[in-house]
């Protein structure tokens, strides 16, 4: 994980975003956030069956200590590309410097939640508290009540009282020089009415800084929603903005090898997924990390891979066909009405 911090410091020189507060000696990849989250997924234990076989058999066959392609967003498996490093440094800078509203967007499966988990681990080293909202199908009052409850308050049913509760709590933490963050995951699913309430929360401030740091994370549809006329005031409050993109071919190779190394493959990860196989993974996944994990995990438990002791391009093709994956085709225009 020290490579992450080295890259973050390089990003500081290239982008001007300071990262001196990041200390690799106090960052423990793989540990769960201290504050439990109801949405946090946990992967299978090493003894839990995968398909028709036991994970112990796969682990023994490939000399692995962990499942290298577990889909859960575990910071231990972070592959620090330049874009990931820049995004993490930008988000951390925006929160720590109390910039107000920070936005992270990216296509489905590009690693937004993983990056978010890494950010929260970094922030926990500085006693930062946060509320984590991910359910966009609630009313504005329910949303405010959820935020208050997640910050440890006893929410009331009145909107005005909720705002007073939050203002008092946030002001008290600010006086102690403590940072509070509101994380909105899957922000593209939140209604414009709830996003307007978030705009009101940005008004909680002193002459020296914002009382609440707001992090909006979502798919590209979030950008479109923020471009709407009704949310132009919220858009103008955005101080830091980052976007994740799929991996290129070289990054796909590095990503697969990185995950195998973390899982214990060490010196034989190159033979397990040869160059030709990785190229086929990239072709079917288009560099999207979630799809890379799906292809590689299912390839490892393929009986033909057991016999070959490595994953062949044909096995990747078979897995891709089973999951109906392939190069994306652009939408076809509708025929003109006669």
- Is 108 or 338 the better-scoring residue by pLDDT? 108
Q: Smallest Cα–Cα separation from 269: which of 255, 286, 288?
A: 255
Higher pLDDT, 328 or 118: 118
Q: Is the pLDDT of residue 106 over 50?
A: yes
What is the structure's pLDDT at 264?
87
Express each pLDDT in 36-71 by its tens digit. 343 433 333 333 444 445 466 777 777 788 889 988
For the question of whether the overall pTM of this predicted structure is more than 0.85, the answer is no
CA distance 138 to 46: 37
Name, in order, each residue with C-beta under 8 angstroms of 86's C-beta and a sequence gap of 6 or more: 11, 14, 15, 17, 242
Tell me how far the alpha carbon of residue 119 is from its chain's centroid. Answer: 9
What is the band of 305 on the pLDDT scale with cuts at 50, 70, 90? low
CA-based angle 74:49:1, to the nearest 5? Answer: 20
Q: What is the mean pLDDT of the chain?
A: 82
Instruction: Give the length of the chain.
Output: 338
User: Cα(187)–Cα(288) distance, rounded to whole angstroms?
Assistant: 20
- Owner of token pair 């299912």: 298
3-state SS of the chain is CHHHHHHHHHHHHHHCCCCCCCCHHHCCCCCCCCCCCCCCCCCCCCCCEECCEEHHHHHHHHCCCCCCCCCCCCHHHCCCCHHHHHHHHHHHHHHHCCCCEEEEEECCCCCHHHHHHHHHHHHHCCCCEEEEECCCCCCHHHHHHHHHHHCCCCCCCCHHHHHHHHHHHHHHHHHCCCCEEEEECCHHHCCHHHHHHHHHHCCCECCCCECCEEEEEECCHHHHHHCCHHHHHHHHCEEEEEEECCCCHHHHHHHHHHHHHHCCCHHHHHHHCCHHHHHHHHHHHCCCHHHHHHHHHHHHCCHHHHHHCCCCHHHHHHHHHHCCCCCCCCCCCCCCCC
> pLDDT tens digit string along 78-90?
999 999 999 999 9
Of 131-135, 260-264, 278-282, the poorest mean pLDDT is in 260-264
Indicate the CATH number for domain 99-241: 3.40.50.300
Please give the Cα distance from 269 to 281 (Å, whole number): 15
> Which residues are CB-neighbours of 333 under 8 A, at least 6 positions away?
none
- What average pLDDT does the segment 285-301 reach? 94
If pLDDT is split at 50, 70 and 90, which confidence band does 25 have? very low
Please tell me the distance from the alpha carbon of residue 71 to that of residue 69, in angstroms, as a whole number. Answer: 6
Taking Cα atoms as reference points, which of 212, 78, 181, 189 lies closest to residue 136? Answer: 189
**336, pLDDT greater than 80:** no
* Alpha carbon distance, N-terminus to C-terminus of the chain: 61
Residues 6+ positions from 180 with CB-CB distance below 8 Å:
128, 129, 130, 131, 151, 169, 170, 173, 174, 211, 212, 213
Tokens of 28: 């423990």
pLDDT in tens, 137-195: 999 999 999 999 999 999 988 999 999 999 999 999 999 999 999 999 999 999 999 99
Of 274, 287, 289, 285, the residue nearest 317 (C-alpha):
285
Q: Residue 43: its pLDDT value, please?
A: 37
pLDDT at 7 over 80: no
Give me 63's structure tokens: 């000399």
């Amino acid at each position: 994980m020290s490579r992450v911090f080295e890259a973050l410091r390089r990003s500081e020189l290239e982008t001007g975003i300071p990262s001196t507060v990041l200390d690799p000696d106090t960052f423990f990849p793989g540990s769960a956030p201290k504050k439990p989250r109801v949405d946090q997924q946990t992967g299978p234990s090493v003894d839990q069956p995968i398909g028709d076989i036991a994970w112990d058999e796969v682990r023994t066959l490939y000399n692995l200590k962990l499942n290298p392609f577990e889909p859960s967003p575990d910071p231990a498996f972070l592959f620090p590309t330049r874009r990931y490093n820049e995004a993490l440094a930008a988000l951390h800078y925006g929160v720590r410097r109390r910039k107000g509203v920070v936005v992270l967007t990216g296509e489905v499966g590009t690693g937004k939640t993983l990056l978010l988990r890494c950010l929260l681990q970094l922030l926990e080293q500085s006693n930062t508290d946060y509320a984590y909202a991910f359910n966009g199908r609630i009313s504005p009052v329910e949303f405010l009540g959820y935020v208050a409850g997640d910050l440890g308050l006893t929410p009331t049913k009145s909107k005005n009282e909720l705002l007073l509760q939050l203002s008092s709590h946030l002001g008290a933490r600010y006086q102690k020089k403590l940072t509070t963050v509101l994380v909105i995951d899957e922000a593209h699913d939140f209604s414009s009415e709830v996003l307007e309430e978030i705009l009101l929360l940005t008004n909680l401030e002193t002459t020296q800084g914002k009382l609440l740091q707001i992090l909006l994370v979502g798919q590209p549809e979030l950008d479109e929603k923020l471009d709407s006329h009704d949310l132009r005031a919220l858009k103008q409050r955005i101080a830091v903005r980052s976007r994740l993109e799929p991996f290129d071919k070289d990054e796909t190779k590095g990503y697969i090898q990185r995950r195998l190394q973390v899982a214990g493959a060490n010196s034989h990860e190159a033979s397990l997924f040869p160059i030709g196989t990785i190229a086929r993974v990239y072709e079917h996944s288009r560099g999207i990390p979630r799809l890379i994990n799906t292809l590689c995990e299912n390839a490892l438990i393929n009986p033909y891979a057991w016999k070959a002791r490595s994953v062949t391009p044909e096995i990747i093709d078979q897995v891709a066909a089973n999951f109906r994956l392939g190069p994306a085709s652009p939408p076809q225009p509708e025929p003109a009405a006669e």
